[in-house]
Structure 1
């Protein structure tokens, strides 16, 4: 884990690229205590150790299905998929798609042990944290750490998406959702250390997988969150997710920016949703 020093930072954005409907702004100063955060998202290998020790069953396993991006499916599985979502037809409802068989029956994580674990709900992530003696980051902690010591930059490394034409994160290139040119080398998830770390030593806080935070989601966080160690509202319907994923593209989901935010219900899981953990630093 990486120590993030106590301090304050400017949270959120007033940029025109920001989604007002997501409550990204206005910019406000937030003060945080020191904490430790995982340098990487929790991997398949780490989650397997948890399951082997506890016998834990994820929400996806209990429901018997999860959402998988259609281009990741084999023709055999695709032919058996009962439905796609009407408004987002790139998501397929795939029976038996779980963390250990991420594209459904017959697929494995054997060659993806250092990839981030996916098909993880907020409930699952929280259960892992309790087992590991850790917790999920607050949204403010996540953004503070993801910024890597930079102030009000668009990405964890600066304002240019491709500095010196170099890919810095795993997102979609091409025409979403039909054509991915794979310029960054990946269609689905990438190993957790595939791209350079930010100024605090964190990997893949932009793209790859969405990461759960502890907070309930609200679009007026600047009013309800507080300014010192904010923890968000006391209740809600959905939990915050941060960082974007391998499916993010400027034309549709420009949420791999460090101030961007989204949400999902605590029992939801998809093939692009994972997490990392934090612990408090002793005073």
Structure 2
């Protein structure tokens, strides 16, 4: 990909409000990885985690019991899953966490190598200095803008910083970048099944980590879009973009923001029909694919356009894609 070539930044079928997909293998070259275990990162010190881990495992019913999902996402059929015990981080990886990784290793993310990443256009209003760095809009989804110089440390492009967002989830992270962080920290990305068990917070058959009602006593429990997508956001939940990783109440297992805020990469390849034949014990996704699973939705989700802020909701993107609402959390 040549920088500024918007033919590589495109809407995904049924996923256009979620994240734009990119096809960057030619530009990234040897940096593109096909497995997290292939990632080699030199570390000079033992990583320090800015988050806690909780231990979970067991049997649960996975998938959508309400018929809320998009047909192309393959949220059904609902099925029983048995998971070996594992530890999962209570929050997504924050800017502070990722900054320690970069300081220790000198790692350069996919967005930095390419010199561009996808930014939700409304976020640029707070960073007028990025206007001269806008390369264009994604075809069919003009609210997604390709911005030269946008990356994890400059989320809205040149002139923006993470100085006031050190405790927010790191964004503009590709699946490849997340795997590199895992290799450094001695962790891994969760399987899709592990992610869903953790997100459910110990509740059975509910839409959200806290129950079936989106609001409780009129209060928001997650960071999603309020207003008319994509024209106006009333930020009734307090945020136009990301929220701190520990904002809002944790679920019953102590995990924060497993729905809304930022999409979180999972280890699995994505397949629409995977649940129809997935194994009951420790499913790990298809053996091959062209997109990786993402879970949890983001601050851009709205029920009129993308109701993927539910614990059963699925999405996907190419492993080298990055955007202003894609992050990750880790397990071990």
> Does TM, normalized by the shorter one, top 0.5?
yes
Any gaps of 5 or more consecutive residues in structure 2?
1-51
Q: Secondary structure at the match of 1:82?
A: strand
Matched, 1:219 2:272: yes
Distance in 1, matches of 2:65 and 2:223, equals 25
Q: Answer whether contact 1:214 1:240 (CA < 8 A) is retained.
A: yes
Residues 53-110 of structure 1 show CA distances to partners (whole Å, capped at 9, x for unaligned) of 0000000011110000111113342354121112111100000001001000111101
Distance in 2, matches of 1:95 and 1:82, equals 7
Distance in 2, matches of 1:107 and 1:5, equals 38
Segments ≥4 residues shifted beyond 3 Å: none
Matched, 1:266 2:319: yes
**Counterpart for residue 69 of structure 1:** 120
**Counterpart for residue 213 of structure 2:** 160
Match of 2:166 among 113, 116, 120: 113
Distance in 2, matches of 1:247 and 1:11, equals 25
Matched, 1:89 2:134: no
By how many angstroms is 1:120 displaced?
0.2
Q: Answer whether contact 1:4 1:36 (CA < 8 A) is retained.
A: yes
Distance in 2, matches of 1:131 and 1:80, equals 32
Residues 134-172 of structure 1 show CA distances to partners (whole Å, capped at 9, x for unaligned) of 000000000000000101100000000001111000000
* 1:203-242 pair list within 5 angstroms: 203-242=256-295
Q: Answer whether contact 1:70 1:78 (CA < 8 A) is retained.
A: no
Alignment root-mean-square deviation, CA: 1.0
Q: Answer whether contact 1:171 1:208 (CA < 8 A) is retained.
A: yes
* Pairs aligned (count): 279
Matched, 1:19 2:97: no
Match of 2:247 among 194, 201, 204: 194
Tell me the TM-score normalized by structure 1.
0.97
By how many angstroms is 1:225 displaced?
2.8
By how many angstroms is 1:184 displaced?
0.3
Distance in 2, matches of 1:266 and 1:99, equals 16
Q: Answer whether contact 2:91 2:256 (CA < 8 A) is retained.
A: yes
Q: Answer whether contact 1:112 1:191 (CA < 8 A) is retained.
A: yes
Matched, 1:28 2:67: no
Match of 1:102 among 143, 155, 166: 155
**Counterpart for residue 173 of structure 1:** 226
Q: Secondary structure at the match of 2:67?
A: coil
**Counterpart for residue 48 of structure 1:** 99
Any gaps of 5 or more consecutive residues in structure 1?
none
Distance in 1, matches of 2:54 and 2:156, equals 35
Q: Answer whether contact 1:210 1:245 (CA < 8 A) is retained.
A: yes
Match of 1:59 among 107, 110, 129: 110
Distance in 1, matches of 2:56 and 2:247, equals 25
Distance in 2, matches of 1:246 and 1:63, equals 25
By how many angstroms is 1:227 displaced?
1.0
Tell me the TM-score normalized by structure 2.
0.82
Q: Answer whether contact 2:129 2:158 (CA < 8 A) is retained.
A: no
